[in-house]
Structure 1
């Protein structure tokens, strides 16, 4: 369509100022969006825990362990994605960074280099190969830590939960954990786990079957809170619906307590979490089967 001279005369002139404003329009901000992700919240919070926790562990020993687990996790994750899955568009492996960071904050700072590498590698391998619908079934960090205990009796101090610092530093874990839990919307899950875990210990203590006080003192309480806020809440391996979150949290607590009292296992918290992860995967499988059955009826 052509414009007549009268329309051209009425058209407003395009000034240099307008051209500058149009060219200066704000571009998309993927970095800002990335900062808001739950992974970023967890990474920043755990890095803060790393700095504070290192005050007692000896800065170099704590940093060395974490650097080893992070480096192993990120390198192996990148290699598997590129060489096996042929993913040439892989972005920064922040998931592997988070996994390695969690493992490094749970393992004792005195853990050997070989065990640190093995634990991180086992975690990443489980992430890629123990899957359902392209999602990991088991929490990678929990699986790696659990396997290192079973095979090597690795020493796990949970120092990222401030277990080696004065008791009041546990408030820092709670504050950071609140931010992460709020971001991923997992409060029903965390509350169900903590309430069930505490109630079982109180009941056992009341009827005289065990000393319940051990569940509420350092380092046991630190480990429980660290797992509840930073591992139990992992979105890919935990449910989204509130009802399923409550069941997930209760199941994790019950299995953990059974493993603790009956078998006196050092991996009781990890065992409980892995069992809850397996239940979540089974739940997803059942849901998928029902959907397929409904589709078959409608065809």
Structure 2
């Protein structure tokens, strides 16, 4: 009788890329590569390198300051990729670095236990926009490519939404967002300079899809239960559309998401708080 062959364990890096975080990282890299290949110059790659290097150095400094071991932070890389994918190529590199530092600083300073209050990338991008008026192009959302390229964004986003189990959240956000914009367009509600029709066209529609798939789905700052995912998405979309209707501009998606993050934190206030240094078993009777 022959013995069954032993299963060879997979390398850790292969196991990582099969996790939800791995899927998000791969999807962002693929979109960045596709958008970068068809760009006229190397500025996109410089954005990615600057934000990624800043993120890894910042995380290393924070780890040393907290007397922790320095490791490759994939969460920081995801935050850096989102920031570099959103900012315009004309953004000065020092502002790219500063935006990344603000984003990661918010993750470590504004948190409850191990979970941050706000999506780090959204927080950093909003602060950078309000304080330094940094331009945005959402170039990795394929906004600068022909309109049919949005299919690539949809495929990558759907894979991520299913893998992180946030597809209900994404559908609720997109359904609410586009429905409200359509109602505004039908009843001619909004600003003359930033009309609902503008938000339904490229590049604004690309930014909404990118936000839905890669920022609204952030597990640490969004609800885990489907019961809370739907109201969360409705809040995010409604606030974003309301801000767009009243003020226009580029901050409406970030503000909507951060308000939703605040609602998630408020809803979790009754759950037992586990300090970062305290094992979960301590809460058991």
> TM-score when scaled to structure 2?
0.89
Most deviating of 144-153 and 260-269? 260-269
Answer whether contact 2:17 2:26 (CA < 8 A) is retained: no
Query: Is 2:191 aligned against 1:225?
Result: no
Match of 1:134 among 103, 109, 114: 114
Residue matched to 2:247: 263
Gapped runs of 5+ residues in structure 2? 274-284
RMSD of aligned C-alpha atoms? 2.1
Paired with 1:123 and 1:152, the residues of 2 have a C-alpha distance of: 14
Deviation at 1:25, TM superposition (A): 6.5
Residue matched to 1:277: 261
Deviation at 1:134, TM superposition (A): 1.9
Most deviating of 271-280 and 37-46? 37-46
Query: Is 2:49 aligned against 1:71?
Result: no
Answer whether contact 2:180 2:241 (CA < 8 A) is retained: yes
Answer whether contact 2:88 2:137 (CA < 8 A) is retained: yes
Query: Is 2:143 aligned against 1:159?
Result: no
Answer whether contact 1:149 1:267 (CA < 8 A) is retained: yes
Which structure's residues are more often helix, by fraction?
Answer: 1
> TM-score when scaled to structure 1?
0.85
Paired with 2:35 and 2:239, the residues of 1 have a C-alpha distance of: 29
Deviation at 1:275, TM superposition (A): 0.6
Offset from partner CA, 1:50-77 (integer Å, 9 cap, x none): 1111134334100001110111111101
Answer whether contact 1:70 1:101 (CA < 8 A) is retained: yes
Most deviating of 34-43 and 139-148? 34-43
Offset from partner CA, 1:243-288 (integer Å, 9 cap, x none): 1110111000011011111122321000000110111011111334
Query: Is 2:182 aligned against 1:202?
Result: yes
Residue matched to 2:196: 212
Q: Give runs of ≥4 in structure 1 deviating > 6 Å.
A: none
Residue matched to 1:94: 74
Paired with 2:181 and 2:32, the residues of 1 have a C-alpha distance of: 30
Match of 1:42 among 16, 19, 24: 24
SS in structure 1 opposite 2:32?
Answer: helix
Query: Is 2:51 aligned against 1:51?
Result: no
Q: CA, structure 1 residues 28+61, in 2 after alignment: closer, same or farther (shift >3 Å)?
A: closer
Paired with 1:208 and 1:26, the residues of 2 have a C-alpha distance of: 63
Answer whether contact 1:57 1:109 (CA < 8 A) is retained: no
Q: Which has the larger radius of gyration?
A: 1
Residue matched to 1:239: 223
